[in-house]
Amino acid sequence: MKVKTNFKKGSCMAWSHNNLLIKSFILSALILTGIQTTLQAQTDQFTKPTWWFGGAVGANLNFYRGSTQELNSGLTVPTVFHNGDGMGIYLAPLLEYQPSDSKFGIMLQAGYDSRKGKFKEVITPCNCPADLSTDLSYFTIEPSLRFAPFKSNFYLYAGPRMALILAKSFTYKQGINPAYPDQVPEPDRTGDFSNINKTQISLQIGAGYDIPLSSRNNQKQAVLSPFISFQPYLGQTPRSIETWNITTLRIGAAIKFGRGNKISETAKAVVEVPANVAVSEPEVEFSINSPLNIPVERRVRETFPLRNYVFFDLGSTEIPDRYVLLTKDQVKDFKEDQLEVFKPKKLSGRSDRQMTVYYNVLNILGDRMAKNPSAIVRLTGASMQGIEDGLAMAESVKRYLTTVFGIDASRINTEGRIKPRIASEQPGGTKELDLLREGDRRVSIWSESPALLMEFHSGTDVPLKPVELLAVQEAPLDSYVTFNVKNATEAFSSWKLEIMDEKGTVQNFGPYTQDKVSIPGKSILNVRPEGNFKVTMIGQTKSGKTVNKEAYMHMVLWTPSQREEGMRYSVIFEFNDSKAISLYEKYLTEIVTPKIPVGGTVIIHGHTDIIGDEAHNLELSLDRANEVRGILENALTKAGRTDVKFEVYGFGEDLDLAPFGNKFPEERFYNRTVIIDIIPAK
């Protein structure tokens, strides 16, 4: 006799039903769209209804995360269940308010909301397979703000979800050990979960599309609206104990009915007139800011900040192999100022020298602790998989420091957490959570020992002391040519550049959508020492017209003297933060400002990682850069100095100008930066 478990099969069947449901929605939409085109025309026309009534039906694709073992006071199963999935039905009447002259509206749905599912099969201590399923369901109330960004049939919506528990039953099944086929199987255990939260307050965000089922010639109108919504785990913890939470993806369709008002002939005429009125285009100005001399490269002495984090891969508590891990025999040859000897196995290809420094962070820490016997650190591991997982990550780092560098274990304290103290993922966040959670799965290195920390800093959230390195900076920022197209964002859907030299050779750059673009001068000159260029800006207006603007420039390549050495400092920010500058104010005032030479130039450029909206990131990077400029200018003013020239840029997440890649979380953390380039007077 063979023991059969149906979990995987049932899961596949659930997804098959889901695929069938999705196909049905798409097929229905196509059929109803076809019906719409065959409706007979009538003489009267009616407005689009303001109020809509109807109902919605959908499939909830439920994803269980976390774990559960104590089902109720009478049943604690022998093995912990982790993760799972399932599908439940969603049924709700609806009410919508859509003002005809606005992109915004209000939606309200209230009805039955099933979060049923099945945990992944586990093996009990008796080597028996076990399954746990639940028919969890709620009465849900979901008010939402509706937004049609293009005043079209496509719309977005978002709002809270308030749910009241209806059903909380479970079924626990335990099979028999396959090695003993004559065993009598345990009877199924059913019951209700204990410690269930009676109410839930969470959120959702979604999108839909209205497909008209009737002509505007009908007073009574109907609409079919396929929709999809995402309801993250935040606020969706079913129980007040253990770690089980639910994330739901809902796919469905709504049928809506409304009543329009008759449009009079006069009103029709008034509506039709604006179509022939010419729309004025915003005035566009084009200018070029090109440096007199374009440096090809510059020697830079960089003070590189050392992040006090070690990031771990999902599903592993071992230090990732992109970090440099030494053997005991190699420790004696390790020197903080010769890190190029110990290169990491994996580099993203950009800023390799700097990432070589960072990927040696554990070796730098071990070396500093060995040289400073009184230094003590605390390692805090953070993991969404649980406190034990976070602690195991911290112990992995401790084990490396004690076994390879011989650090006394009593000098290293460890702890585990669900979230780091300074977390990237914030409550209520719904976008790009995978990238944020990658950055939150880390071990933080905390210390109160000044020998390990950045100058003028104290406290548990202080960065480690930076590392100084000497590098060659190719295409430094003051070699960039800046092209300004004032009002481009308002006037153009896109614009591009045609740059022609004296021989008629044309180079094309673009298309762009922003008002300002910077291009390295060497990219335009190539191997030529200098040249004259005619620059044509070609813009495509939003109404379909083409606008040309011309300007001229002369460019000269210049190689700085080997004695001219720039300096570079960096300020690191936390995710989506432009006010973390207080941590660095004394450092910028007393360390960086005195290093600015008389008549020098300070180029300050802000950056972000790729997480978040591109326009917001551009604004955020400029805010960060201006915060740094304000502190430096204030310090110079107090010293009675007015000889320094400032240039401030915000590059946002621009991948061509980002100082690092974005593949790994440590690279994204280093991209949340303001870089300060100090250039001596020419």
Residue-wise pLDDT tens digits, 20-37: 444 444 444 444 444 344
For the cut 50, the answer to whether the pLDDT of residue 418 exceeds it is yes
**pLDDT given for residue 96 in this prediction:** 94
* Tens-place pLDDT, residues 630-664: 999 999 999 999 999 999 999 888 888 888 888 88
Higher pLDDT among residues 348 and 32, named by residue: 348
Do 285-297+475-558 and 565-679 agree at the fold level?
no
Q: What is the pLDDT of residues 420-479, one digit of tens each?
A: 887 877 666 566 778 888 888 999 998 888 888 776 555 556 678 888 877 777 778 778
Query: Please, what is the average pLDDT of the chain?
Result: 83
> Considering the chain, what percentage of its residues have pLDDT values greater than 70?
84
Which residue matches tokens 């720039």?
566
Whole-number pLDDT of residue 182: 83
pLDDT for 399: 96
Which of 160-169, 509-518, 524-533 holds the top average pLDDT? 160-169
Candidates 637, 632, 644; CA nearest to 674 is: 632
Shortest CA distance to 615 belongs to which of 667, 568, 654? 654
3-class secondary structure, 18 = helix
Amino acid making up residue 342: F
What gap in Å lies between CA 591 and CA 555, rounded to an integer?
Answer: 36
Helices (H), 476-613: 488-491, 521-525, 585-587
Q: What is the mean pLDDT of residues 3-20?
A: 41
Q: How far apart are CA 230 and CA 155, in angstroms?
A: 15
Neighbours of 112 (CB within 10 A): 14
511 preceded by cis ω (within 30°)?
yes
Better-predicted residue by pLDDT, 352 or 506: 506
**Average pLDDT, stretch 233-260?**
93
Q: How far is CA 60 from CA 22, 116, 233, 271, 521, in A?
A: 12, 9, 14, 43, 54
In this structure, which amino acid lies at residue 526? N
* Choice between 110 and 47, residue whose per-residue pLDDT is larger: 110
3-class SS letters over 254-317: EEEEEECCECCHHHHHHHHHHHHCCCCCCCCEEEEECCCCEECEEEEEEEEEECCEEECCCCCC
Helical residues (DSSP H) of 433-505, grouped into ranges = 433-440, 488-491
Sequence-separated (6 or more) residues with CB below 8 Å from residue 430: 203, 205, 230, 232
Mean pLDDT of 278-282: 60
**Higher model confidence: residue 32 or residue 113?**
113
Whether residue 110 is predicted with pLDDT greater than 60 in this model: the reply is yes
Q: Is the dihedral of CA 178, 184, 190, 196 positive or negative?
A: negative
CATH superfamily membership of 565-679:
OmpA-like domain (3.30.1330.60)
Question: What are the boundaries of each domain within the chain?
Answer: 7-267, 285-297+475-558, 308-462, 565-679
* Rounded Cα–Cα distance for residues 602 and 586 (Å): 18
| pLDDT at residue 133 in the model | 95
- For the chain, the C-alpha Rg in angstroms (whole number) is 31
- Asked if residue 146 lies in contact with residue 157, where contact means CB atoms within 8 angstroms, the answer is yes
Is residue 133 within 8 Å of 116, Cβ to Cβ? yes
Compute the distance between CA of residue 30 and CA of residue 19 in angstroms, rounded to an integer: 17
Give the mean pLDDT of 79-93.
Answer: 95
- The more confidently predicted of residues 295 and 627 is 627
Whether the pLDDT of residue 267 is over 60: the answer is: no
Check whether 353 has a pLDDT greater than 90: no
CA proximity to 652, closest of 496, 517, 481, 491? 517
**Which of the listed CATH numbers 2.60.40.1220, 1.10.8.290, 1.20.1740.10, 1.20.120.1200 matches domain 285-297+475-558?**
2.60.40.1220
Q: Say which CATH class 308-462 falls into.
A: alpha beta
Rounded CA separation 666/679 (Å):
28
In one-letter notation, the amino acid at residue 495 is W
- Exposed e or buried b per residue across 664-677, where buried means at least 16 C-beta atoms within 10 angstroms of its C-beta: bbbbbbbbbbbbbb
Phi, psi dihedral angles at 632 (to 5 degrees): -65, -45
Percent residues over pLDDT 90 in the chain: 44
Quote the longest CA-to-CA distance of the chain.
Answer: 93
The least confident of 135-144, 215-224, 272-281, 282-291 is 272-281
Task: Please tell me the predicted confidence (pLDDT) of residue 188.
Answer: 92
Nearest C-alpha neighbor of 332 from the set 404, 408, 407, 409? 404
Q: If DSSP states are collapsed to H, E and C, what string results for 578-640?
A: CCHHHHCHHHHHHHHHHHCCCCCEEEEEECCCCCCCHHHHHHHHHHHHHHHHHHHHHHHHHCC
Alpha carbons within 13 angstroms on the beta-carbon side of residue 161 total 27
In b/e form, how buried is each residue of 347-367, taking b as 16+ CB within 10 angstroms?
beeebebbbbbbbbbbbbbbb
User: What integer pLDDT is reported at residue 634 of this predicted model?
Assistant: 92
Mean pLDDT of 147-162: 88
Task: State yes or no: pLDDT of 43 exceeds 80.
Answer: no
Task: Please report which confidence band the pLDDT of residue 39 belongs to, taking 50, 70 and 90 as the band edges.
Answer: very low
For residue 146, what pLDDT band results from cuts at 50, 70 and 90? Answer: very high
pLDDT in tens, 188-204: 999 999 999 999 999 99
Spatial separation of the C-alpha atoms in residues 518 and 538, rounded to whole Å: 16
The SS3 assignment for 524 reads helix
Residue 241: CB partners within 8 Å, gap ≥ 6? 70, 195
Contact 206, 156 (CB under 8 A): yes
pTM recorded for the entire structure: 0.52
Positive or negative, the CA dihedral 481, 483, 489, 495 is negative
| Average pLDDT of the segment spanning 492-516 | 89
